Structure 1
Amino acid sequence: MFSLSNDLSSSDGLSDSSGFLRSSRFSSSTGFSSSNKWINNHAYSAFKEVDLHCETNNNDHHTSQISVNQLIVRRGQPFNITLKMAKPFNPDSDQLTMKVVTGKYPSEERGTMSRFGVPDKVELSPCAIAVWKAELQKNSLPETGMLALTITPPAHAPVGEYKLSAGLKAEENELAELFVLFNPWCSEDWVFLPNEAERQEYVMNQHGIIYKGSDQYIHGLSWDFGQFEEDMVQICLKLLDLSRKHKRDPADDVSARCNPIYVGRVVTNMVNKEDANDGVLVGNWSDDYSRGFPPTHWSGSYDILKQWYTTSFKRVSYGQCWVFAGIMCSVMRLLGIPCRVVTNFQSAHDSNANLTIDKYYGDFLVRPKETDERVWNFHVWVEGWMRRPDLAEDGRYDGWQALDGTPQELSENVFCCGPTPVSAILKGDVHLKYDVLFVSAEVNADVVSWLVKRDGSKVEMFSDTKSVGQHISTKAVGSNERVDITNTYKHTEGSAMERAVFRYALSKLDINNTKPTDGNAAPQLIIKFEEESTPVNGQDVKMKLVLRNEGSSARTLSIGVSVQAMTYTGRLKENIKNEVIEKELLPGNDLTIPIQVPYSSYSKQMVSCQTMNISALITDIQNNQIYVADDRVVLKDPPISLTVPDEARVDQKMTFKVDFKNPVNETLTGCTLTVSGTGLVQSEEIIKYVGKCAYIGAGFQSLRTNQSLKM
């Protein structure tokens, strides 16, 4: 028999505002034991004790990595609790009525309140939705007042924090609080993912890789998602509570949290601080990060989310696309929506919604005016796995949905993007919601090149139908390999099917001046850039411009070469080098022109950039025919290595060593090493280098030529 009285205080001294006390451990003569007891302290309560079986339930619901002390369950899946009644319970004559509520304005009609019980005879509202169920287990001992119950939240219950109460007749006692998450293990849940290996990767894995660089030089950035770190449930639910949708209509917002489409869209808006909301992160693509950290500082999501949460939701500075995507992936995985980070190389930003990017070249190397339409070296978003019955009942648009937390363009008057069915992009269904047109342009827009003359007039030169949307990448399931998923977004570049889908997409646009481009006639002059060696930051860049005359006559060519610093978003910055030469090229011959950019000539201009844009503007002097070409050179960073000299053991401190060698002939200042690691480092550590010492904190540091940094 249980030996607890109603006035028993908890052994660990923990209590909540409702008057329930929690004991750290309890064993009884029945053999029943648990570390999760909630005791009702009311003198007239029908219940002596409630055991939530947190550890067992959370293990069964794949939430034990979040907590074993809070009950965190997934919808559509039963969990068990045990009630110790103050007197015997007769299932034939007694009615145990239970209730769960979430949000400030719970309602049966909205699915934010549910009444149920044992036996299942509770009278419900005629319009009740998202009804919970309870069953009495066979191992119950009702004659002693011990009820073992199995409770099942419906597979379409709103996610969030719930209060569970129960009573006999008119009495009602609050028993406990619990959290309900989406359930990719439940076939009835809209986020159901049938493959277990994929569930482990896209829901449970706290570590990942985000791909950056260029289509020619792809490199992976290790990222700690940390979705199961301390307080992440509270952080992610608070993020939903601070959305403009919740502030406008909290009852409707909480009810809508049954829908992963809705939740994903809210998260895309809340991870950024662009809408004068309480969003998490400020985007910054300038050179001034003095009021915060540069985007390259971050190596994980948790430190950003924790800072936002513990500073009363003050914005965190600063982020760019991969940081927004990393944060969003963490939130989605915590909430139970399968999620992966995706990088699109040569990613177009189409600001006028016509599937075309206009690119301008200046006559005689005159730099044209910048526009909002550019092709980024790379852009990062996430994909969430969910059904889309709002678009088609046959499931054709179910599966991966693109969601982008980077504030780029307004969607329904707010900065958010998606969920966009990847299958709709593949089909060219750009008229569908949400934001299919915008994401389609990112992966498959045509680029039209224009020559801007000195008088401001423009001449269309050619259209590029193939360069946008290269090597769309994500981390492999169960390994650190890169997987190319370009074929899920579009058909083989240049194929008849790819062009047919593009023409179909254009037909859905309500504009008159857009025509499909199928490429251009074979040019008489072939232009290509070649790298003599891998371009490395801190070293001279050596390239070759190779021209081939495909015509039948000799050509006298004026060849202008321009080198400019460029951000990864395609914005031109400082000019580095200009050169104009005149050469003759015989028919069928090649002409090679060396291009060398010394480190001394680009070091200052490339402080905030890692990309060089090399442009060639070539004029055939005989007929004034103009040819243009450009190439983006992404400088590779010098290597940094991390080693653990000694054997690592669980629950013991370990030492690691980081080596970085200064490759340039000048002293580097402001050298900082940021260390983070889920489960390894409690909070982000910033290590600054001073002479031969490393310490935590602020200070001046420098790194001399060919000197190694060791910590």
Structure 2
Amino acid sequence: MAVDLSRSMFNKVDFHCQTNNSSHHTSDITDDQLIVRRGQSFVLTVDLLRPYNPDTDQLRFSVQTVPRGSEELGTWAVFGIRGLEGFCTSKAKWKAVLNKGSALQQGRVVLDVTPPADAPVGSYCLSATSEKFMSAAEREVIMGKLVLLFNPWCKDDPVYLPEEAERQEYVMNEHGIIYRGTDRYISAMAWDYGQFEEDMVDICLKLLDVNPKFEKDPADDLSARCNPIYVSRVVSAMINSLDDKGVLAGSWSDYSGGVPPTHWNGSVEILRKWRKYNCQAVKYGQCWVFAGVMCTVMRCLGIPCRVVTNFQSAHDTDGSLTIDVFHAGYGVRPRDSKDSVWNFHVWVEAWMKRRDLKEDGSYDGWQVLDPTPQERSKGVFRCGPAPVAAIRAGHTDQKYDIPFVFAEVNADCIDWLVMADGSKKNIYSDTLRVGQNISTKSVGSNKRQNITDSYKQREGTDTERSVFKHALTRDYSIEGRPRKPKVEPGDQPGTNGTHEPNGADEPNGTNAPQKISMNIEEVSKPINGQDISLKLQMSSKDQAARCFSVNISTQVMRYTGVPSANVYSQLNDVTLLPGQDMSVPILVPALAYRSHMLNCDSVKVSVIATDKEQPDAIYLTEVDITLESPPISITVPEQGQHRRELPVEIVFKNPLDEVLRNCTLTITGSGLVKYAIQARLAELGPDRQVHFKFFILPYKSGVKTLLVDFDCSSFRDIKASCTIHILPATPWAGWGM
């Protein structure tokens, strides 16, 4: 990009956008605007109207953040060359060095300009002056604007990430995988981050500029943007809309006035809608949507980031690090609890140094950030950054929000049976349930990486119990979340033990070996729209026969652990002989659950077995099942070429014995589809197929992902995706002749 500087002694300036952006890993965004990373030099060419004399001349440049800068706060700097040497007179040490490509006698001055590695990120205005060359009225000439980002390639930047493969994954990759489902039924969903779409930088900087801290004190906020800790807390708050002009409104039940969170395939459409409608919250998001959008913003700003899913995720509202779970006896409504265990919860991790906590670097590395509005942090709905290393060590007295995240992955569960008179009995004390299969996408592949060991010690070990007790005794008051007493009058807490039931097999609440075991197993793969076939396996190590009343209940669940409907129940009387194994069939008809699944995520099957002769001996087992959706077929060439059309065909077959109405297809994919393609389809009868054919025009090269969403009256937002390798454009045959 060359700028005409007529009416001054500066003829023109060339920002070398294509070359600079390429070396700063921002050319995927644009070649029309200078976007560089701090701590790394970029080339600037200034053409003067007369020769540059190193004995008498000097060039002075100033940069300041937009809309305003302050030399004292490090958001305005004066630097340049005096003779042949560079100089800087400001607190923020920008540096200019003469490049060997200069032709001083021809008035061409080529500079290598280096922003400091701790400069605030954002938009800057670059100006130039030369007292020797012009009158006082013409001394300052605005040369143009540039954008400065964090730099994970720079060792002096707190977000420096040593491994190039990880930088490619956690900064440069525009496509990812988000995991949902349950700990036993993990499903992978493609997500389009699209952080290098051309308008994303402007949108992400807009997000920073409308945060409440900027509106209260712009100068202080702009200065604080040098710190990735500060920026990440601002972004965590701004992704949700409860305290500010945030991007997304959350909803877990009513989606009127918007679209269900399951509709979204990626972040780009959400962020564009937010900007288009003057920073009004986009409706609606849930945890994986909040996390996906935050990952886009963080990668766009240059902070390495990845999306993480925690299965069996606890929501501890009172800081006790324990979760009360209430179960109903036959015909008894369970007692409400403010605590809950979600099938899964999604947040992000960002990579940065935490020298605000320890200089030795022991808290550096991955930090948990959670933009889903669950609890307030310092009065604002946000969470983190919480060092993963501190979570693993149980250091719940450190910043930020570590007690809450520690409980999400490591809380103990106490199961209570609510009796008909309202009293409750502790039937289970479980240290293992919470924090299962913590997952993220692997580096360089679409495989799932289990990172549970980075969050906690191995369950069942003495070390894990020691860390838990250490976490429980820390003083959280630094976080403004005092621990509250958990046990209410009349409650009888269970043991501090394992999965053991409390009852006749465990005199006085001790952890004696279990004599009766139960487990729910699949008979066939559970598919949405078909009967669910399971079996209850019971076995006895007792020396006497045991007679049980077995109550089996099935509920359609939201992923947050909230039941939506009771859809099926059965009551069996069984007798277990000594050493016997027994199988009890469970068949949940599709007609019982299907109408409830549109806005729900899983089916919970719970079994409570009560010994008829020893009513205090109560056993519990349960399983959360995610139903597999019918498949969508995408046919597209494996390779394509930049700016050449590619044919695509999408096929879906109705597996139900009813007509599918209100059928829609949504197709997205950064680099392939600039704006979402939406198509309304005709009604689809039983066993009928829909074939949808269209063309896409790839506008970026590289490995790209095409994402498809199918929605209708009976299935909510079925997903499919495929990858396509887009080759660079081939030069015309006549070129170079």
Normalised by the length of structure 1, the TM-score is 0.90
2:669 aligns with one of 677, 688, 691: 677
Cα distance, 1:610 vs. partner? 2.8
Equivalent residue runs for 1:167-178 within 5 Å: 167-169=129-131, 171-178=139-146
Contact 2:657 2:687 in 1 (8 A): yes
2:590 aligns with one of 596, 599, 602: 599
**1:67 paired to 2:46:** no
**1:209 paired to 2:181:** no
Q: Secondary structure at the match of 2:291?
A: helix
1:189 aligns with one of 147, 151, 157: 157
Q: Which amino acid aligns with 2:141?
A: N
In the other structure, the counterpart of 2:651 is: 659
Deviating more after overlay: 328-337 vs 681-690? 681-690
Q: Which amino acid aligns with 1:364?
A: Y
Give a deviation string over 1:278-298, Cα, whole Å, max 9, x none.
Answer: 111111110x32311111111
The CA RMSD over aligned residues, in Å, is: 1.7
- Separation in 1 of the partners of 2:282 and 2:386? 27
Query: Aligned in 2, Cα 1:535/1:104: closer, same or farther, shift over 3 Å?
Result: same
Aligned pairs, number:
658
1:613 aligns with one of 597, 604, 607: 604
In the other structure, the counterpart of 2:190 is: 222
**1:95 paired to 2:58:** yes
Cα distance, 1:533 vs. partner? 1.1
Q: Secondary structure at the match of 1:523?
A: coil
Q: Which amino acid aligns with 1:174?
A: I
Equivalent residue runs for 1:144-543 within 5 Å: 144-169=106-131, 171-275=139-243, 277-286=244-253, 288-509=254-475, 511=483, 513=485, 517-519=496-498, 520=500, 521=511, 522-543=513-534
Q: Secondary structure at the match of 1:655?
A: strand
Q: Secondary structure at the match of 2:362?
A: coil
Contact 2:335 2:418 in 1 (8 A): no
Q: Secondary structure at the match of 2:168?
A: helix
Cα distance, 1:647 vs. partner? 6.6
In the other structure, the counterpart of 1:51 is: 14
Contact 2:309 2:438 in 1 (8 A): yes
Contact 1:162 1:179 in 2 (8 A): yes
- Separation in 1 of the partners of 2:226 and 2:372? 25
Normalised by the length of structure 2, the TM-score is 0.87
Contact 1:226 1:678 in 2 (8 A): yes
Give a deviation string over 1:185-222, Cα, whole Å, max 9, x none.
Answer: 00000000111111111111111111111111212111
Contact 2:319 2:483 in 1 (8 A): no
Cα distance, 1:86 vs. partner? 2.5
Contact 1:646 1:655 in 2 (8 A): no
Contact 1:365 1:617 in 2 (8 A): no
Q: Secondary structure at the match of 2:432?
A: coil
Cα distance, 1:461 vs. partner? 1.9
**1:704 paired to 2:667:** no
1:630 aligns with one of 614, 622, 630: 622
In the other structure, the counterpart of 1:134 is: 96
Cα distance, 1:122 vs. partner? 5.6
Q: Secondary structure at the match of 1:500?
A: helix
- Separation in 2 of the partners of 1:383 and 1:333? 11
Query: Aligned in 2, Cα 1:176/1:649: closer, same or farther, shift over 3 Å?
Result: closer
In the other structure, the counterpart of 2:724 is: none
**1:40 paired to 2:5:** yes
Q: Which amino acid aligns with 2:533?
A: K
Q: Which amino acid aligns with 2:422?
A: G
In the other structure, the counterpart of 2:695 is: none
Cα distance, 1:89 vs. partner? 2.2
- Separation in 2 of the partners of 1:377 and 1:122? 58
Cα distance, 1:367 vs. partner? 2.2
Cα distance, 1:123 vs. partner? 7.1
- Separation in 1 of the partners of 2:213 and 2:227? 14
- Separation in 2 of the partners of 1:647 and 1:200? 21
Q: Secondary structure at the match of 2:675?
A: coil
Contact 2:86 2:96 in 1 (8 A): no
Q: Which amino acid aligns with 2:388?
A: V
Contact 1:132 1:154 in 2 (8 A): yes
Cα distance, 1:646 vs. partner? 9.0
Q: Which amino acid aligns with 1:703?
A: L
Q: Which amino acid aligns with 2:602?
A: T
Contact 1:281 1:316 in 2 (8 A): yes
1:547 aligns with one of 538, 554, 569: 538
Identity within the alignment, %: 51
- Separation in 2 of the partners of 1:423 and 1:311? 40
Contact 1:329 1:339 in 2 (8 A): yes
Cα distance, 1:94 vs. partner? 2.1
- Separation in 2 of the partners of 1:435 and 1:245? 20
Equivalent residue runs for 1:637-648 within 5 Å: 637-644=629-636, 648=640
Give a deviation string over 1:6-40, Cα, whole Å, max 9, x none.
Answer: xxxxxxxxxxxxxxxxxxxxxxxxxxxxxx11112
Give a deviation string over 1:597-631, Cα, whole Å, max 9, x none.
Answer: 01111112222113111111221121212222221
In the other structure, the counterpart of 1:24 is: none
Equivalent residue runs for 1:558-577 within 5 Å: 558-577=549-568
- Separation in 1 of the partners of 2:372 and 2:412? 22
Give a deviation string over 1:95-131, Cα, whole Å, max 9, x none.
Answer: 221110004341122110111111257673xxx5322
- Separation in 2 of the partners of 1:645 and 1:511? 57
In the other structure, the counterpart of 2:700 is: none
Query: Aligned in 2, Cα 1:71/1:400: closer, same or farther, shift over 3 Å?
Result: same
Give a deviation string over 1:489-526, Cα, whole Å, max 9, x none.
Answer: 11212122212111111111564857993324233321
Contact 1:558 1:581 in 2 (8 A): yes
Contact 1:103 1:251 in 2 (8 A): no
Query: Aligned in 2, Cα 1:241/1:645: closer, same or farther, shift over 3 Å?
Result: closer
Q: Secondary structure at the match of 2:295?
A: helix
Q: Secondary structure at the match of 2:206?
A: helix
Give a deviation string over 1:154-201, Cα, whole Å, max 9, x none.
Answer: 000000000011101362211110000000000000000111111111
- Separation in 2 of the partners of 1:76 and 1:646? 39
- Separation in 2 of the partners of 1:57 and 1:428? 44
Give a deviation string over 1:386-414, Cα, whole Å, max 9, x none.
Answer: 10000100000111111111111111111
- Separation in 1 of the partners of 2:391 and 2:302? 25
